[in-house]
Structure 1
Amino acid sequence: MADVRVLIADDSILFSRFMKSVVDAAEGFTVCACSANVYEARDEIEKLKPDMLILDIEMPKMNGIAFLRQLIPQYTVPVIVCSSRKDLVMQSMQAGAADFLPKPDEGGYEEFRTALVKSLNAAKKITRIKCGCKFYAVRKSASADDTAAAHEQRRIIAIGGSAGSTEALPDILQCFDKNTPPVGVVLHMPEGYTSLYAKRMNAKFPELEIVEATQGLYLKNGMVVIAQGDKHMRLFKDSKGYFVTCEEGPKVSGHCPSVDVFFESAAFCAEKDAIGVILTGMGKDGARGLSQMHHAGAYTIGQSEKSSAVYGMPKAAFELGAVDKQLDLERIGYHIREYLSRGGK
């Protein structure tokens, strides 16, 4: 059975991290995202469709109780309210909370850990939630449908590049459509630019869903997810399909985000079902990761020297023996499409 996916909404980064560690350690539960305010939580709910929430009360822009009153009638899932405002227990429960846990005082963290795990297990058994004077049925997890979709969604395409790659990527994307397997992209761009780039590409290719990566985002056919400019993106897979994580960290192979980090995660979780593509760029980031994909059974492609703005990364990968096929840029997208149409042969 798939894990219960939990969204945490709390403006305290440190306490969110603590709660995440508790939830992730609890059997049958995993945190899909953390939000600092209810507007971020709303956006994450729309994208990730979590099964449960842990909600603070005192947050900027809108307090948790007001949000809860709006949420339950529209998106009915168990919500555990966790707040230092013990005087708001009754208001929280009347607004639709499944439980109320006071935030721990100094020295009370182990007791809180036990209470939270107990509350999580109780909340997942709830079938109805009372909000105000009305009862609402808890939405069913689409785990069976998601598992079937994950089985169908076997393939994944991983692309990495640096100098010249923002101009190169559209040449590949123009060959893709809504039926193309999910595409993960790591390009060496600074913080802030990746969001703008994703929006520009999404407007240019309306048949695709092109987005900047977010923590816990599940991928689907026709989706292209672009790594954030200051966080490493990694690929994982569970019973619901492929999803990505976005985490800060030291530079790897000289970069954050690093192509090596992403390719290595794709090698581990997708193995022979992955297609790896290394594009124009300076240095050798991605070469080691593509080599791991190659050894895991993935099909790997490198951009040719004559079509590269900078023949650094593709060259390093080619010299490692990590490239199955070296192609001019204008052929890569068509070749992937042909490769997939032949069933990966």
Structure 2
Amino acid sequence: MSIAVLIVDDSAVVREILSQMLSTAPDIEVLGASPDPIFAMNRMKMRWPDVIVLDIEMPRMDGLTFLRKIMEERPTPVIICSSLTEQGARITLDAMSAGAVAVITKPTINLKSFLQNASKDLVQEVRNAAGARMGALKRMARPAGHEAGGGIAPKLTADVVLEAPSGLEKYRTTEKIIAIGTSTGGTQALEYLLPRLPATCPGVAVVQHMPERFTASFASRLNGLCRVEVREARSGDRLTPGMALIAPGGRHLLVKRSGAQYVAEVKDGPLVSRHRPSVDVLFRSVAVCAGGNALGVIMTGMGDDGARGMREMHDAGARTIAQDEESCVVFGMPAEAINHGGVDEVMSLERIAHTLAGIRG
């Protein structure tokens, strides 16, 4: 069966280009392209789409209000098509928190050529979204108080950023660290997980597949929800107890040893497992520098980024955890990590939060 897609955007140019791009995929059917949510709701009375591609800023009803109505009435995978601005990033994060499963960024200039060049990414995002488990998103209530490749370039491993563990780095200190990797559904999972960690938990390094310019706003949002301090990582930042560092969009995050301490290194480099930042890069760096002092967690997401790195962490003596299928929006990344033999335990998101909350730095 084909994936039925509805496009909602007030720009006639965007509606036309997105419709043409998606119509070229044999497994995607474009139901229509509406200029605002009011038109969209009338169209959806005739046939409900499998996936909605939604702009945020529109007349008559904004995209965020429309998204919340959808999630109340009939939870449906929604991809946000958002502008690359600070304001756009903040609103898009609100949309992700409300249940959107992915975001595609669009510039304010050269829009037509950008969208045409991003056609493969959009088609893949629609396919990914169609497989999302919306029930898992609904269960991730917040507590009170990609870069993807175009499919042509070779799929690179973490070898292009740093060497694999040699087995000589397995020495212990009293300081522990936690490394977390996630993608589709991960913004909601992290909003569930991180606020449940105490200020005494070990330092946390996080790779969430997210576009450039969005991670700073995401970190700021989390910081307002959490007892731990959350911020976008910078080279030289220490991973101290009560600190969570989020990899910047478009750059890799590594952890290095500095004496008895662990520090972040943010660096450029090629896409790894078709992502930057890459979970494989973070996990390998933790395997190299921390070994048994570390705990690795891989959560909801599409693809296999992190599977090899988690196996390297496991082989270096780290404890490794994968999120279970029932609580994942997309079980791809945890399933691949399990298949690679690098996972010690499989847990629900609720149990992961409880487990991490019990670890002291």
For normalisation by structure 2, the TM-score amounts to 0.51
Give the greater-gyration-radius structure (CA).
Answer: 1
Matches within 5 A, 1:172-187: 172-187=193-208
The corresponding residue for 2:151 is none
User: Which residue matches 2:352?
Assistant: 332
Offset at 1:151?
A: 5.1
1:210 pairs, out of 230, 236, 247, with 230
Give the aligned partner of residue 161 of structure 1: 182
- State the Cα distance separating 1:218 from its structure 2 match: 1.5
Residues 198-220 of structure 1: CA deviation (Å, up to 9, x unaligned) = 00000111x21100011111121
Asked if 1:274 is matched to 2:299, the reply is no
Separation in structure 1 between the aligned mates of residue 344 and residue 239 of structure 2, nearest angstrom = 26
> Is 1:234–2:243 an aligned residue pair?
no
Deviations 1:101-140 (A, max 9, x none): xxxxxxxxxxxxxxxxxxxxxxxxxxxxxxxxxxxxxxxx
- Give 1:244 deviation, angstroms: 0.8
Distance 2:337 2:265 in 1: 25
Q: Detail structure 1 runs of 4+ shifted over 4 Å in the superposition.
A: none
Report if aligned partners of 1:212, 1:226 keep a CA contact under 8 Å in 2.
yes
Alignment-mate amino acid for residue 189 of structure 1: M
Counterpart code for 2:199:
K
Match in the other structure for 1:125? none
Q: Which residue in 1 is equivalent to 2:49?
A: none
Q: Which residue type is aligned with residue 219 of structure 2?
A: A
Does the residue aligned with 1:335 lie in a helix, a strand or coil?
helix
Return the alpha-carbon distance in structure 2 between the equivalents of residues 240 and 211 of structure 1.
Answer: 22
1:240: Cα distance to partner?
Answer: 5.2
Counterpart Cα distance in 2 of 1:266 and 1:240: 14
| Candidates 261, 265, 284, aligned match of 2:281 | 261
Q: Are positions 1:315 and 2:335 aligned together?
A: yes
Which residue of 216, 225, 241 maps to 1:195? 216
Please give the secondary structure, in 2, of the residue aligned with 1:174. helix
The residue type equivalent to 1:261 in the other structure is: V
Deviations 1:313-344 (A, max 9, x none): 00000111111110111110102234x36x9x
Q: How many Å separate the matches in 1 of 2:229 and 2:357?
A: 18
Residue matched to 2:57: none
Asked if structure 2 preserves the Cα contact closer than 8 Å seen for 1:232 and 1:256, the reply is yes
Match of 2:304 in 1: 284
Matched letter for residue 227 of structure 1: A
User: What secondary structure is seen at the aligned counterpart in 1 of 2:266?
Assistant: strand
- The 1-side partners of 2:254 and 2:195 are apart by 25
Let me know the Cα RMSD of the aligned residues: 1.6
Greater RCO (CA < 8 Å, at least 6 residues apart):
2
Distance in structure 2 (CA, Å) of the matches to 1:277 and 1:291 = 12
Deviation at 1:176, TM superposition (A): 1.1
Aligned partner of 1:15 in structure 2 is none
5+ residue gaps, structure 1, are: 1-149
* Equivalent in the alignment of 2:191: 170
Q: What is the aligned partner in structure 2 of residue 49 from structure 1?
A: none
- Residue number in structure 2 paired with 1:72: none
- For 1:174 and 1:211, the matched residues in 2 are separated by 14
- 8 Å CA contact 1:158, 1:185 repeated in 2: yes
How far did 1:170 drift? 2.1
| In structure 1, distance between residues paired with 2:206 and 2:238 | 14
Q: Which amino acid aligns with 1:275?
A: L
Task: Kindly provide the CA deviation profile for residues 230-276 of structure 1, in whole angstroms up to 9, marking residues without a partner as x.
Answer: 10010001125110111111000010000000000000100001000
| C-alpha contact (below 8 Å) 2:201/2:356 kept by paired residues | no
The equivalent residue for 1:13 is none
State the one-letter code of the partner of 1:278: I
Give the whole-Å Cα distance in 2 for the aligned partners of 1:181 and 1:302: 19
For the 8 Å contact 1:174–1:333, the answer to whether it is kept is no
Question: Is contact 1:202-1:210 (8 Å) kept?
Answer: yes
Aligned to 1:246, the other structure's residue is in SS state: strand
Query: For 1:204, what is the secondary structure of its paired residue?
Result: coil
